[in-house]
Each structure stands twice: as C-alpha cells, then as structure tokens.
C-alpha cells in the first residue's frame, strides 16, 4: 500500500477533490486528518469513508485565512496521531468577477485562503516533518493559472503564486527531506462547478481534448504518486491532470461570462 501507516492531512476535505483524496489515501493505508471550513456534515461523511476503509480519521474545522487556526489544526493533528507525513493543500475559493469589478474584499478573501493559507499550512506542517525526518507536501492548483481564463483574476493569481511557492519551498525544504510538488487539475465535476453550470461536463467536454471533464476520483492517483515514496526523487514539480486542456488552451468564454454575471461583484 502506497501510504501504509502514514498520516495525511487534507484541507478542503468535505467535498470534491479533497474528499476523494482523503478517502483514496485511507484506501492506501493512511490515517487522515479531514480539515474543512463550513461543511461539517460533508467532513463527517468523508471521515466515515476513511473509517470504512479501516483507518482513523480526525475532523477539524479551520479558516485558512487565519494563521492561528492553522496552528491549532496542525497541533490537533499532531496530538492525535503523533506526526504528519503528508500534507495536501487542497482548500480554495474561486472569486468570480470581471477584472475591472474585483473588490479589495474579494481579492483578499481569495488570496488569503488559497495562497496565504497554503503557505502557512506548509510551514506549520513542515516544522513537524523536519523533526520527524521528512515528508511530502502536495499543493492542489489549477491550470487556470496557465491559461488566462477570464473573470478569475484573483483565483489565477493565487494559483500562480502556488506554482512559484512550490518551487521555493522545494528548494528550502529539501535539506529536511521534505518534498513539495503541485498537481493542477483541469475542469472537474465538483459541486461548485456543477452549481455554476449543471451542464458542466458538456460545456467543458467541447474544449478538453479528452472530450469530458474529470471526475474527482481521477485526481487520487496523481496525488498519491506525489505523496508516496514512489516519487521520492521528485520535488518542485508541477503536474497537470487536465485531459490535455492546458495544451489545447480552448476556453468557453460565454460560459465564464454567464457565471461571472450570476455570481456578481462579490465572486
């Protein structure tokens, strides 16, 4: 098993990719810290999925925009399990708005959660990993950072920042045997995307070379590869899992404009 007897902390684990990865890690032998912000019911459901696979789960609420709460999360995980072997920085918010309508409040919310939150989660967990002799950090990004997708300026900036941060952390943490990599999913059938567009698979299937959007479960394999000893000599890398979308670069702009109008200036 890829993660036998390891402890994996997953942020944003109440639904979508985070939920899939948390349960997938349990299936590969890991105990899991299920971190979430608002969806307690979803987080408990994820924890049930972990336990059904014979592993232990800790459910913990955290607002990643506040460093104090991140410190409390990491402390709680360490008190429960004694170590953290893998961090999956998955939690993120989007912030839909045309670039000329982005408010300071919306910008700060996206950057604080996605970029600041990922950084300080990595820092706090890395302190524990350093003392334990090493570990792996997997940041979940988006190919939005590579394609210039309209109405997502704050989100793209936060994810582009994660790409740069991954390289920086990989260099600085390598002496402590902590590997840092990023997975950038393409269009994926998660709740927030299906709320924005019920026909999400059809809309994005027309522009993705693979012909469809991804299922959240299709991100499990790439994340577990980057988290496990199978990628022991891999660090500072960005892996796209997007059905070829980042190569083709076609964007359904009409769909993006419709979503931005419905979401309004607050995103």
Q: State what percent of residues in the chain have pLDDT above 90.
A: 84
Q: What mean pLDDT comes out for the span 115-140?
A: 98
Sign of CA dihedral 146, 157, 171, 5: negative
Q: What mean pLDDT comes out for the span 199-218?
A: 94
Q: Which of 105, 70, 75, 71 is nearest to 91 (CA)?
A: 70
Catalytic hit among 15, 36, 153, 155: 155
Catalytic hit among 14, 118, 141, 142: 142
| pLDDT, tens digit, 9 for 90 and up, residues 68-125 | 999 999 999 999 999 999 999 999 999 989 999 999 999 999 999 999 999 999 999 9
- Evaluate if residue 230 carries a pLDDT over 80: yes
Q: Is 127 a known active-site residue? A: no
Return the pLDDT at 150.
87
Return the pLDDT at 47.
98
Integer Cα distance of 21 and 28 in angstroms: 10
Catalytic hit among 159, 200, 231, 246: 159
Integer Cα distance of 37 and 246 in angstroms: 30
Q: Is 155 a known active-site residue? A: yes
Return the pLDDT at 254.
65
Domain layout of the chain by residue ranges: 7-263
Q: Is 159 a known active-site residue? A: yes
Q: Could you say which DSSP state residue 99 is in?
A: G
- Evaluate if residue 5 carries a pLDDT over 60: yes
User: pLDDT confidence of 267, banded at 50, 70, 90?
Assistant: low
State the pTM of this model: 0.93
* Residue 236 dihedral angles phi and psi, to the nearest 5°: 75, 20
Tell me the CA distances in angstroms from 100 to 97, 103, 152, 260, one per residue in order.
Answer: 8, 9, 11, 12
Return the pLDDT at 63.
98
CATH number of 7-263: 3.40.50.720
Tell me the CA distances in angstroms from 35 to 71, 195, 242, 266, one per residue in order.
Answer: 13, 22, 25, 25
């Amino acid at each position: 098993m890829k993660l036998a007897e390891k402890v994996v902390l997953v942020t944003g684990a109440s639904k979508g990719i985070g939920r899939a990865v948390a349960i997938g890690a349990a299936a590969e032998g890991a105990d899991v810290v299920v971190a979430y912000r608002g969806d307690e019911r979803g987080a408990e459901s994820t924890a049930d999925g972990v336990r059904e696979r014979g592993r232990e789960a800790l459910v913990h609420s955290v607002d990643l925009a506040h460093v104090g709460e991140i410190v409390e999360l990491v402390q709680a995980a360490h008190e429960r399990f004694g170590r953290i072997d893998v961090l999956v920085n998955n939690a993120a918010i989007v912030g839909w708005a045309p670039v000329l309508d982005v408010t300071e409040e919306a910008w700060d919310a996206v950057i604080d959660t996605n970029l600041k939150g990922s950084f300080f989660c990595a820092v706090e967990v890395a302190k524990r990993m350093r003392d334990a002799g090493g570990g792996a950090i997997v940041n979940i990004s988006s190919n939005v950072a590579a394609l210039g997708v309209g109405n997502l300026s704050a989100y793209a900036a936060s994810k582009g920042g994660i790409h740069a941060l991954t390289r920086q952390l990989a260099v600085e943490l390598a002496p402590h045997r902590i590997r840092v990599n990023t997975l950038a999913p393409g269009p994926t059938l998660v709740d927030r995307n299906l709320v924005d567009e019920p026909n999400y698979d059809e809309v994005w299937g027309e522009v993705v070379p693979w012909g469809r959007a991804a299922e959240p479960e299709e991100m499990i394999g790439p994340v577990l590869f980057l988290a496990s000893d199978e990628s022991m000599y891999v660090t500072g890398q960005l892996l796209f899992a997007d059905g070829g979308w980042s190569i083709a670069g076609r964007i359904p702009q009409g769909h993006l404009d419709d979503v931005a109008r419905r979401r309004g200036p607050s995103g």
